[in-house]
Structure 1
Amino acid sequence: MTDFPIIRVVTKLLIPYILLFAFYVQFHGDYGPGGGFQAGVIFAAAIILYGLVFGLAAVKKVAPPIVIEKLMAAGVLVYAGTGIATIALGGKFLDYDVLEHHFLTEYHFPSGQHLGIFLVECGVGITVTAVMTMIFYTFAGRRQSP
């Protein structure tokens, strides 16, 4: 894509807005439409766009495959860890009501439901971003057989 400077410049201008929109969808997913899955796909789309325009080697410098592999596991751990924490606090798996802490209300800590949903959606968003990016790396790295 070095022959298309307009595409490269427009991509550099668009990627921050795509990432900002992904964060908006992520952090407002418990209040309206959207959430972890949608935000993860939007975030991965920004990474994939960068890879399509600047090449696989360039995107692997920005988001190395080893980091993406660790993020896949970290997202699942955040999701499952939230469920394990609710069990440890005496509730059922992903029973957000046990995350309620009345002694933290003076610090404007989110309620148990909001905290639980936020953590689960963050885990989903991280996992989806990492998996979609790794799928792109896998397909883009294939060589055509002669």
Structure 2
Amino acid sequence: MKEQDKGMTLIVKTITRLTVGLILLFGIYIVSHGHISPGGGFAGGVIVALSFIHIMLAFGKEVAFKTVSQKVASVFESLGALIFVTLAIAGIGSGYFFLNFLAKGEPFRLFSSGLIPL
């Protein structure tokens, strides 16, 4: 089977190419402004994950696995866990509450929520 025959129709693939970048950008926006507006990190993370699922559904899982290999996905997963544990240890080591040791900033600024966006 040819590479072009895998996945869905040409229309779905074209729409995916046009929209997946915007979906990813919107997810990153929601994550970075989650402490200011409703939604937050969880909703933004779901939107970012859906952009990759969109690629997998439109082009087939072979193309998705070529784009992001199992090794790269494993590295990002491990890196996320390592960052979480590092922040937890830093909070405990500094004598403050678990994951709540960065100072709060000025209201209505992007970095005004301490560790909430992280």
**TM-score, structure 2 as length reference:** 0.79
The equivalent position to 2:18 in structure 1, one of 10, 13, 22, is 13
CA–CA separation in structure 1 for the residues paired with 2:117 and 2:9: 41
The equivalent position to 1:85 in structure 2, one of 58, 81, 90, is 90
Considering fraction of residues, name the structure with more helix. 1
Aligned to 1:22: 27
**Percentage identity across aligned positions?**
34
The answer on 1:116 being equivalent to 2:78 is no
Aligned to 2:51: 46
CA–CA separation in structure 2 for the residues paired with 1:41 and 1:52: 16
**TM-score, structure 1 as length reference:** 0.65
Cα distance, 1:116 vs structure 2: 1.4
The equivalent position to 1:62 in structure 2, one of 53, 64, 67, is 67
CA–CA separation in structure 2 for the residues paired with 1:49 and 1:71: 19
Which structure has more relative contact order (CA 8 Å, sep 6+)? It is 1
The two structures, once aligned, show a CA RMSD in angstroms of 2.6
Gaps of 5+ in 1: 102-107, 120-146
The equivalent position to 2:42 in structure 1, one of 37, 61, 84, is 37
Taking structure 1 as reference, are residues 95 and 4 closer, same or farther at Cα in structure 2, changes over 3 Å only? Answer: closer
